[in-house]
Homo-oligomer: A and B are copies of this chain.
Amino acid sequence: MKTVIVYNHPFSGSLCHALLESARDGAKKAGYDVDVIDLDADKFNPVMNEEELRGFLRHEMIDPQAKDYFERIRGANHLIMIFPIWWGLMPALMKGFIDKVVFPGAFYEMPEDATTMTPLLPNLKVTIITTMNTPADIYRDYFGDAIYKALVNDTFNNVGIKNVEWVSFNMVKFSTEEQRREWLEKAAQVGAKK
C-alpha cells in the first residue's frame, strides 16, 4: 500500500505543515509506504507554457518535475492533498500541479473531439485536506464550496476517480488549541485510511 501526499504551504510553521506531519505519521503507523511531494520545497513551476500546452494536446508531459510527480502517483493507492484556501481556492502552486499532472495519457484517455474521458486511475483514492478562515456555512452558501465543485466534481470525478473525500478545517485564525489537536488527529486518521 502506497500513499502520496501533495503538500503546498509557504510556512513550515503553518497548520497545513502540522497536518502534513500528522497525515504522514498516520499512514506510516498503518504500515503504508509514504511519499511526500512538497511543491514549495521543490520550487515546482506551476505555469503551463506554450510547449507544455502543445504537449497536453498530444498527451505528452514536458516538465520533468510533473512527469516525476505522475510516476510517483501512478503506483499509489491513496493521494492526499494538503493546502490552504486563498480567495476561495487552492494557491497558484497547487492549481499548477493539477494543470500539469492531471494529464491525458496519465490520469485518463480522451480521443480528439471526444466529450468524455476514459479513466486510467479509477481505483486511486483521493483525500483533500484544506484550511481556511471562512466559516463552513458561509463558504458553502455564498462561495458555493467552489474548491469541492472544481477539484472533486470537475477534476477527479471527471477523470473517473470516484472515491474522493474533502476534509475542511475552518476558522483557523480563531481556532483553539484543543480544536487544532482534534484536526491533527483527523489528519492522522486520513493518513491511516483503508
Contact = CB atoms under 8 A, between A and B. Distances in A.
Interface residues of A, number: 40
Interface stretch (A25-33, A46-54, A74-82, A123-131): A46-54
Nearest to A47: B93
A50 B134 CA distance: 22
A142 B147 CA distance: 13
A111 interface: no
A155 B48 contact: no
A138 B177 CA distance: 42
Contacts of A173: 113
A91 B48 contact: yes
A175 to B, nearest CB: 13
A7 to B, nearest CB: 14
Interface stretch (A94-102, A162-170, A185-193): A94-102
A87 B150 contact: yes
Contacts of A146: 144, 146-147, 149-150, 154
Interface string A12-52: 00000000000000000000000000001000001111101
B150 A92 contact: no
B92 A95 contact: yes
